[in-house]
Chain A
Amino acid sequence: MSLVRFLPTPSDRMGIIWSLLAVQGAIVLEYGPAGTTHYSMGLYGGLGLRFQNRLFTTHMSEDDVVMGDVTRLEEAIIELDKSYAPKVIFVVASSVTAVIGTDIKGVCRYMQNEVKAKLVAFEQGGFRGDYSVGLAETYKLLVRNLPQKDAAQEAGVYNIIGASAWRYRMASDILEVKNLLGEALGLRCNACLCCDTSVDELQAMGKAQVNIVLGNEGLAAAKYLEEKFGTPYVYAVPYGYSGTVSFLEQVGAAVGKAPEPMVLMRIKMKEKGMSMLSMFAMMGGSKPRQAAVKGDYDLVRGVGTFLAQAGISVTHKMCAHSLKAITEPSADVESYAEEGEWLQEIRELHDTLLFADDVALTQADASNMKVLISAPFMNGVVATHLPFMGEKGADFLLEQIQGYYQK
C-alpha cells in the first residue's frame, strides 16, 4: 500500500473486464456492489467499448456479504440467459467477493445445468496483480473454454492474441497488422483477443493456420492452442521497419508462404532512408540524443529498439505494469513497485524524446519533446487509422524522431 498521486495502474479485474467487453455475443455479469460497475462506464466508454445491454451488475447487500448468500447471482444468471439469450455469460468477481471468498466457479458449475449460455467464471477481484496479470488470465481462460475441438484448419487464417483495448490506438494497430498481413501474405484474421471480436470467432479459433502473439501476456494462451490444436504461434510485435519486415517473414515462415517481395522492398527502402538521420545528428554537433519510452512491455521494447536503430540512446524503457505476467522479461525493461519511482525518473529527464502516457507527459519538463503513445490518455476520441505498429506506425515514429533531431 503506497501513496498514488495520479491514476493507479489498473488492476487485473479491470483488464479482464475491458477484454471481455470486446467479445460480441457475450454478456459480462459482475457480482459485486453496483457503484463500481456504474463508475467503470467512463473508462470502458473511453476505450471505445460497447457496454449497453452487455455489462450488468447484481449489486450486493450487507446480508449477501455477511451470510455469503449467492441467490442474487443465481437469479441474475438465469434472468440474463432468458432475457438476452447470450452464447456466453462471463461472471466476474468483485473486490468484495474476492475478499469474502465467494466460490464463483462453484456457482457457475452448478448453474450451468440451469442455463443455455456457457458460463465462464473469473474469480480475480483486483488483488492478484495489475492489468497485465488480468490480460494473461483472460486469454488463457478464453482459449481453454471457448474454441471448439472440431474446427478444421483453414489455409490463410490467423488469430491475434494479446491485443488489449487499453493500449493507446490499439484499433489502429490491429487495422495496420491486418492490412499488412493481407497485402503481404494474403492472410485473413479470424479472432482477435481481445479487440472487436465475437464468441463465434473465438469458437472457431482452431481453424487458424497460425496464432500471432502481439502481447507477451498472450504467450501462455498461444502455447495452449499449440498443444491443443497443433497451431504454431509467432510472437513478434511489428514496431519499426526492420521489426515489421521480421514480423512478416516470421508469419510467412509459419504459414509456409513468402511475403510479397514488393511489400518487403517498400518497407526496406524506408528503413534505408533512415540514414539521413545521421545528417541531422551531425548538424546537432555533440548534443546528446536520448529517449525514454513508457508503456506496455511490448511497446517499450519494440519502440525502444526502433529508436536505437535511429541512433538515439534509450535511457529508460519504463514498463507501465509489473513484469509478473511477462515470460522471460528483457533485462533492460524497468518496472516499478511504486508510483514515486517512475515519477522521479520522468521528472529528471531533460532534452529527451519522451514517448509516454498523458500523466507522465504532464510531469516531464518542457525541455523534453513529448509524444503520447500509451495509456492512460485523456483525449475522448481516439483515431483508428493512426497506428504505432507496422509500416505506417514506423513512418509516424520516424517523423517524431526527425522532429527531435531538428529541435
Chain B
Amino acid sequence: MGLKEDAMWKMAEKMGMPKSAIEAIKAKQKNGDKSAMPDMGKMMSMMQDMKGDKKDEMRKMAEKMGMPPQAAGMDGNEILGRLNRLSKVQTIKDVPQLTTALFPGTHCPLMGAAMVAGGIDDCLLVIVGTDECSYYTKSLTINERYGGIAGRCVSVVLDSHDVTFGSTESMHKAFKEIVAEYQPKCVMLVTTCVIEVIGDDYDAIAAELTKQYSIPVMAVHTEHFKCEDHFPGLERAITACAAMMQKQDCDSSVNVLGQRMGNFADTELHAFLAAAGVKLGVQLPSGCTAEEIRRAPAAKVNIVVHDIALPLAQAMQEQYGIPYVYFNRFAAPEKILQAYQHLFDYLELPLPAEIGAKFEECKEMEQKVLPEVKGVPYIYGNTQYECFELNSYLCSLGLVPQLIQSNKLSEANFADIKSILAQTDPYICKAANIAPLQYVYDVLHPWFYMGHEFGERLRRKGIALLHSDPAGKMLGFECSSFMLQAVAKAVADAKKFREEAGL
C-alpha cells in the first residue's frame, strides 16, 4: 500500500486538503488509527467535478494508483447527438450503440444455449468452437447444475486444420468418444462463430449423428455476429428441443416454456393453476429431462413466459395443435388479466375470483403511486420485463423515459412504441455499455436508472437505482405490484439523492 498511499495523499493535497491536516492524519495512522484514510469514492467524485489542467493531473495520478482510466474526452451531448430518437427507428439496425467501443458488451448467445442445456438434467452440452469459447463456457458450467468439473459440458475444439479443411470428420471421431464415455440421453451440439464462417453444415452432421447413435442430437447455432445478445442462443436451444418431441395423447397438462430463473412453483401463476387442479407438464428450460421433453406434446396448452420460447410454442401449435398463451412478465395489470383469461379459456375452466381481486389491488396501488411518479424522468437499461411493454406502461403512469436501451426490436413492439411516442420521444440505443452512460447522466439528469449499474456511483450524481432481478422469479400480478413498489421507492430515493447532490 506504501506507494499507493503516498499517491493518495498527493491527490488529497492537490484537491486542496491542507498539509497540516494530512500530517495530522498520518500521525494518527502511525498510532494505528486507520479511520482517517481518504475516501476513494469521494475523491473520485470530486475529481469528476474538477475542471481544466488540474483535472487532467488528477486523472493521471488516479491511474498510477491503479484506478480505471477516466474518459476525460467524452462528452455527453456529443454522445446523445449520435443517437436516434425512438420515432426514427424501424428495425434494430436503426438502433445505434451508445459508443462504438463497448464495455462490457453483451453476453454471447453461446452462453444462452449453455443455460438451456443446464436446465435439461440429462442433456450433454458439446461446444464446437475455439479454445476460447470452450474455455469460458466450461468455466461457466463448473457447478453442481452441470455436474462439476467432470460434468456434462465438453467441447470439440477447432484448430487451423479444421478451419481450412472442415471439421466433419474430426467431429464424427470425437462424437464416438463422447458416446462411449458419457452415454448421453440427448446432446446439444452448439456451434460458434467460426463454424458459421467456414460453413460446415452442422444441421446435417447432427442429423447423421442422431441416426447413427439413436439419440437426439440437436444442432444449435450461436454465432454472435448475426445477433445482439445471448437471447437468440436461449431461443434457438429451446426451439431445437422440438426435434425431441413425439406425439402423445392429451393429458390436460400445461407446459411452462421459457422460464429462465427461479422456481415456477413459487410464482403466483403456479398458485392459481395448482388451486384449479391443473397438472404441470414440462418446464423448459428451468429443470426437466429429455424424457419429459419427449412427452411435452401431451399438454393441453403451452404457457410462454418469455419471448425466447415463442418459436417453440408456435412450432408445437403447428405440429401438434397445442395452443399457447403469451404470459410474459407484464407490468400492465390489464395485460396480466388478459393473459389469465386466455389461459383459463384454453383450459376450459372458470377464471378464479381471486384473479379479479388481484387485478383490483394492482389498480388501487397504481392510483396511490400515480401522484408521486408523474413527470419523473428516467433512463431504461435492462429489466426482467419486456422493454417496450414496461416503458409504455410507465408512460401511461406519467413517467418520462429519456433514453431507452434495447437490443431487440420487432414488429410486435410497435403497438407499445406508439403509445410511448404519444407521450414522449426518447433517445434509443443498444444496451450493455455502461462506461459512456456516466457522461449521459450529466446531461439528462434522470431521477432513476432501471437496470444494472453501480448504486453508489449513481447516488453521487443524484440518481436512484431500480433493478428488477427479483421479478425474474415472478409471474402474474406480482410482477405489476413489484414494479409499482420499485418505482415508488426509486422516486423517493431520487428525491433524497438529488438533494444530496445539490440538484
Contacts and interface: CB of A to CB of B under 8 A. Distances in A.
Interface of A: 1-11, 13-14, 24-25, 27, 29, 33-43, 50, 52-62, 64-65, 72, 75-76, 79-80, 82-86, 94-96, 99-100, 126-128, 130, 340, 358-359, 362-363, 378
Interface string B125-141: 00000111111111110
Contacts of B157: 1-2, 4, 8
Nearest to B192: A95
**The 3 residue pairs across chains A and B that have the minimum distance between CB atoms:** A35-B108, A34-B105, A33-B224
Given A2-B156, A65-B197, A35 B109 contact: yes
Given A34-B224, A76-B100, A83-B71, A5 B154 contact: yes
A53 B99 CA distance: 13
A36 B108 contact: yes
B101 A76 contact: yes
A14 B103 contact: no
Interface string B187-209: 00000011001100000000000
Interface residues of B, number: 68
A57 B430 CA distance: 14
A79 B101 contact: yes
Given A1-B162, A5-B154, A42-B136, A84 B71 contact: yes
A204 B167 CA distance: 47
Contacts of B73: 82-85
B160 interface: yes
Contact of B225 (A54, A64, A378): A64
A57 B102 CA distance: 5
Contacts of A61: 225-226
Contacts of A10: 131-132, 135
Interface string B105-125: 111111100000000000000
A86 to B, nearest CB: 7
A55 B102 CA distance: 9
Contact of B136 (A43, A64, A128, A358): A43
Given A95-B193, A96-B197, 10 more contacts: A1-B159, A36-B224, A39-B108, A41-B104, A42-B139, A59-B105, A62-B225, A80-B101, A83-B101, A127-B163
B38 to A, nearest CB: 20
Given A8-B134, A24-B63, A39-B111, A72 B105 contact: no
A52 B68 contact: yes
A56 B103 contact: yes
B24 to A, nearest CB: 32
B35 to A, nearest CB: 26
B12 interface: no
A58 B140 contact: no
Residue of A99, A130, A363 with highest tally of chain B CB at under 10 A: A99
A1 B105 CA distance: 29
B2 interface: no
B135 A43 contact: yes
B343 interface: no
A29 B106 contact: no
A14 B133 CA distance: 11
A28 B133 CA distance: 19
A58 B155 CA distance: 27
B131 A38 contact: no
Contacts of A9: 131
Nearest to B159: A1
B70 interface: yes
B164 to A, nearest CB: 10
Contact of B160 (A42, A127, A130): A127
Interface stretch (B169-177, B251-259, B329-337): B169-177
Given A3-B177, A8-B135, A50-B66, A99 B194 contact: yes
A50 B131 CA distance: 23
A2 B99 CA distance: 39
A295 to B, nearest CB: 17
A5 B149 CA distance: 9
B225 A57 contact: no
13 contacts: A1-B162, A2-B156, A2-B157, A2-B174, A3-B154, A14-B131, A24-B66, A38-B104, A50-B66, A50-B68, A53-B435, A72-B100, A99-B194
Interface of B: 63-64, 66, 68-74, 97, 99-111, 130-140, 142, 149-150, 154-163, 167, 170-171, 173-174, 177-178, 181, 193-194, 197-198, 223-226, 230, 432, 435-436
A70 to B, nearest CB: 12
B154 A7 contact: no
Contacts of A11: 130-132
B68 A1 contact: no
Contacts of B224: 33-36, 60
B4 to A, nearest CB: 12
Contact of A38 (B106, B156, B163): B106
Contacts of B99: 79, 83
Residue of A35, A40, A52, A85 with highest tally of chain B CB at under 10 A: A35
Contacts of A60: 224-225
Contacts of B133: 36, 39, 95
B68 A54 contact: yes
Contact of A127 (B108, B135, B159, B177): B159
Given A6-B149, A24-B66, A96-B197, A35 B111 contact: yes
Residue of B101, B158, B170 with highest tally of chain A CB at under 10 A: B101
B432 to A, nearest CB: 7
Given A1-B170, A24-B63, A57 B105 contact: yes
B226 A42 contact: no
A245 to B, nearest CB: 29
Contacts of A340: 177
A6 B138 contact: yes
Nearest to A196: B66
Contacts of B225: 33, 60-62, 64-65, 96
A2 B435 CA distance: 39
Contacts of A128: 160
A8 B155 contact: yes
Contacts of B158: 1, 127
Residue of B68, B108, B157 with highest tally of chain A CB at under 10 A: B157
Contacts of B160: 127-128
A57 B101 contact: yes
A358 B171 CA distance: 28
Nearest to B56: A85
Contact of B100 (A36, A79, A100): A79
Contacts of A3: 154-156, 174, 177-178
Contacts of B110: 35, 39
A1 B162 CA distance: 7
A85 B106 contact: no
Contact of B97 (A4, A14, A59): A59
A55 B433 CA distance: 12
Contacts of B178: 3
A119 to B, nearest CB: 14
Contacts of B162: 1
A17 to B, nearest CB: 9
Contacts of A43: 135-136, 139
Contacts of B71: 53, 83-84
Nearest to A30: B105
A99 B101 contact: no
Contacts of A130: 131
B102 A58 contact: yes
A126 B157 CA distance: 11
Nearest to B439: A83
A104 to B, nearest CB: 15
Nearest to B138: A7
Contacts of B150: 5-6, 362-363
B101 A35 contact: no
Given A4-B156, A95-B194, A25 B135 contact: no
A58 B197 contact: no
Contact of B132 (A29, A36, A72, A75): A36
A120 B17 CA distance: 40
